[in-house]
Amino acid sequence: MALSSSSSLIIIVFLFFNQATTEVLGCYTSIFSFGDSLADTGNRVYYDAHSQYKHFPYGITFFNQSTGRCSNGRLIIDFIAQALGLSFLPSYLGHQNPDFKHGVNFAVAGATALDSASLIKRGIPPTTNYSLEVQLGWFKQLLPSLCSSPSNCRSMLRNALFTVGEIGGNDYNDPLLEGKNKQELQTLVPEVINIISSAITALVEEGAVTLLVPGNFPIGCLSSYLTIFESKNQNDYDPSGCLKWLNEFSQFHNQLLQNELNRLREIYPNTTIIYADYYNLAMDLFRFPKQLGFKGTSGVLAACCGGGGRYNYNTSAICSFEGSTCCDDPSLCVNWDGIHLTEAAYKWIATGILERSFTSCISSEHHNVDHSITLLSSL
């Protein structure tokens, strides 16, 4: 398709984001978020005094201070909350007099799908004890304080949006860094998917009616992976400069996840389970950076905040630590710190999710369909 047509679509999508807040206002009265650093709004920094996310330039773009978010500004969950007319989700940990009436964020940076015991059994050292199962336990403990009776709870949960993930990326990180190949990693994926499925099932049994379940990002386009697994063989890279084998692994995880979500939809026909296609929405940013208002290919692959090198990622000088520097304009970058994306990138992804999945959420009817998102990738 010609560039002009692609540009027109981009303009339409971005215009939609400005309309989304009005159109879907009031669809949900609360959001309950589970996951890892892609959604954490402050849980990790509450218990980790040495976290890099406690320091500037994290939060520099929107909040003008670090908030515990692993980006320069807002995350996908923040944009979704804003579009639904809700406040930013408070983190579960660290609040003395919390107001969780409109939702709460259980996501923890570094969280895994598998619990610590399962990871240790596989020889994988856990980076945190707050697995998806632990987060689910927090929700169950909190629920009685949010509603006064079973009928009130059912009503509240029926009008709530549950976001389950992204989760699973941290389960794969250590095996990757230990040199496990794609085939070895793939043996871990069904177990991760099973845990995600069990969490969804538990939430539905508690009364959840609408669940948003994201897939994994194309990790072969992230600065950290591009640095650690840099190859001299150009055949290992796709036209956007991303490592093909790592992206193929992400796609493998996402395909198994979608298969499982389809199975769950058949079991729970009165529940809306939405697959959010983080992979293809993010790939648009790497395939069409200039058309979307970002730097060229080399620019979107390099981290905005980092310690130098081809992709501005250095394990000895990670973002916010001594030796790292921050780019002048994060809004032109996709990669933030080598692992996470910028606010501008997250806004694009959130827009895509809202554009397809929530335009009709004010309807009382739940449509049990697969709301996968593909925009420029399908052109």
Distances in Å between the Cα of 241 and the Cα atoms of 60, 77, 277, 305 are 28, 28, 21, 19
φ, ψ of residue 281 to 5 degrees: the values are: -65, -40
Cα separation, 224 vs 52, in Å, equals: 15
- How many C-beta neighbours within 10 Å does residue 373 have? 25
The residues annotated as belonging to the active site are 37, 337, 340
Cα separation, 233 vs 364, in Å, equals: 54
* Strand 272-276 to 160-164 pairing: unpaired
Q: Where are the beta strands (DSSP E) in the chain?
A: 30-34, 103-105, 160-164, 210-214, 272-276, 305-306, 325-326
Angle at 70 between CA 68 and CA 76, to 5 degrees: 105
Instruction: Give the chain's radius of gyration (CA, Å).
Output: 20
Cα separation, 78 vs 41, in Å, equals: 9
Cα separation, 372 vs 322, in Å, equals: 41
- State the DSSP H helix or E strand holding residue 256, giving kind and residue range, or none if neither: helix 244-267
φ, ψ of residue 243 to 5 degrees: the values are: -75, 120
φ, ψ of residue 163 to 5 degrees: the values are: -110, 120
Dihedral sign for Cα atoms in the order 105, 109, 114, 116: negative
Q: Fill in the amino acid letter for 70.
A: C
